[in-house]
Structure 1
Amino acid sequence: MRKIVLMMSMSLDGFIEGPDHDIDWHLVDDEVHQYFNDRIRTMGGFLTGRVTHELMAGFWPTADAGPDAGGPMAEFAGIWREMPKFVFSRTLERADWNTTILREVTVERIRELTARPGGDLALSGAHLAASFLRLDLVDEYHLCVHPVLIGRGTPLFPDTDTRTRLRLTGTRTFGNGVVLLRYARNGGPEEG
């Protein structure tokens, strides 16, 4: 069975974006980007919400087309185009680039996706992740913590009364100070 892997970048104080949806504080250099490429390449699909999908679709389809395109960014463009994408949206009517639109996050729908053959599924986006967390559907966490405090914005984890125990499965420190923390579930949720 495929796993749902939450893959996100966050500030040290727990935000994925600033108050105006800004992410200019993300420190994604070639080393960090190559890590993501290597990990994503083995996966079976992206799980995103409409906003994230539209941002990605507005950039990655042609990110490797320019004369100066190269390195991990150009490599990711090819990975993104080929990878199956599952977009959760109640309003999106059409999507290109190997994309399936799903209307709701339900346990049954996600179990159906994870039962299919192929690699694990990469989940991103705070709002979509909150839906998956609420339904106890996240199996692993791959979090890149950036060495910055931004003070406010969109938190990665919503407030909850549920405690979920995790087990550290790996760490990596990148040259730019970003730290990767990898966790797996260590049992089911507990009421807090």
Structure 2
Amino acid sequence: MGQVFYWMNTSIDGYIADSDGDMAFMDPPEDFRQEANDHVRRTGAFLFGRRLYEAMEQPWTQDLGGDGASAVEREFAELYRKTPRYVFSDTLQTVRDGVTIVRREDAASVVTRLKREIDGPLQLGGPELAVSLLDLVDEFWMYAFPVMVGGGRPYLPVRENLRLRLAEHRSLASGVTFRRYVRP
């Protein structure tokens, strides 16, 4: 049975984008890229909100062979393209091959079905989508980059207390930290 892992990268003060909507402060170092590849290698499916889908899809589905991309980046692109992707959106009408559109009204039933059908992690991304599916999220993953941005889009805009237990905490050589939380 699959488990839903909500994973977003953040600043150390908890923002996935700064107040201008920019995520450039999270320029990933090589050790983070390798760690991301290790996670994606085990991922059963990606579950994306529309904005995250649009941010991820274009760079990782293009040919990275001749643009100076590193071997780790080319590996991520290959793993990304091989992994089934679901985008939760009421506005998208078409998507690339390998991607399934899920309408918001069907989100909970589709994720419940995927948890039964797919072995391995179901990697959920997008804070609004995560809040809408909060009861189905098994773990909360956060890679915090060593920068403070002072405001912007938060990691998870919950409207009530959500008690969690720290299950894992590690630091990469680059200063990026990983925290994994589970429900108590």
Same fold per TM (> 0.5)?
yes
Secondary structure of the residue that 2:164 maps to in structure 1? Answer: strand
Structure number with higher helix proportion: 2
What residue in structure 2 maps to residue 91 of structure 1? 91
| Matches of 1:17 and 1:172, distance apart in 2 | 22
Q: Which moved more, 1:123-132 or 1:83-92?
A: 123-132
- 2:166 maps to a residue whose letter is L
Name the TM-score, length of structure 1 as normaliser. Answer: 0.88
- Runs of 4+ with deviation above 4 angstroms: none
What residue in structure 1 maps to residue 14 of structure 2? 14
What residue in structure 2 maps to residue 175 of structure 1? 173
What residue in structure 2 maps to residue 113 of structure 1? 114
The structural deviation recorded for 1:169 is 1.8
Task: Classify 1:183/1:63 alpha carbon distance in 2 versus 1 (closer, same or farther; 3 Å).
Answer: farther
Q: Which moved more, 1:96-105 or 1:3-12?
A: 96-105
| Matches of 1:103 and 1:86, distance apart in 2 | 10
Given that residues 27 and 178 in structure 1 are in contact (C-alpha distance below 8 angstroms), is that contact kept between their aligned partners in structure 2?
Answer: no
Given that residues 63 and 69 in structure 1 are in contact (C-alpha distance below 8 angstroms), is that contact kept between their aligned partners in structure 2?
Answer: no
1:151 aligns with 2:144: no
The CA RMSD over aligned residues, in Å, is 1.6
Task: Classify 1:67/1:19 alpha carbon distance in 2 versus 1 (closer, same or farther; 3 Å).
Answer: closer
- 1:129 maps to a residue whose letter is A
Higher RCO structure (Cα 8 Å, ≥6 apart)? 2
| Matches of 1:62 and 1:148, distance apart in 2 | 29
Instruction: Please give the residue correspondences for 1:34-183 in structure 2 after superposition, counting only pairs within 5 Å.
Output: 34-66=34-66, 68-104=68-104, 106-133=107-134, 136-161=135-160, 163-183=161-181
The structural deviation recorded for 1:122 is 0.4
Given that residues 27 and 176 in structure 1 are in contact (C-alpha distance below 8 angstroms), is that contact kept between their aligned partners in structure 2?
Answer: no
How many aligned residue pairs are there? 183
Q: Which runs of 5+ in 2 are unaligned?
A: none
Identity within the alignment, %: 36
Q: Which moved more, 1:145-154 or 1:50-59?
A: 50-59
Secondary structure of the residue that 1:170 maps to in structure 2? Answer: strand
What residue in structure 2 maps to residue 184 of structure 1? 182
| Matches of 1:61 and 1:158, distance apart in 2 | 29
Secondary structure of the residue that 1:154 maps to in structure 2? Answer: strand
| Matches of 1:37 and 1:72, distance apart in 2 | 8
Secondary structure of the residue that 1:41 maps to in structure 2? Answer: helix
Given that residues 46 and 86 in structure 1 are in contact (C-alpha distance below 8 angstroms), is that contact kept between their aligned partners in structure 2?
Answer: yes
Secondary structure of the residue that 2:56 maps to in structure 1? Answer: helix
- 1:118 maps to a residue whose letter is D
Q: Which runs of 5+ in 1 are unaligned?
A: 187-192
Name the TM-score, length of structure 2 as normaliser. Answer: 0.92
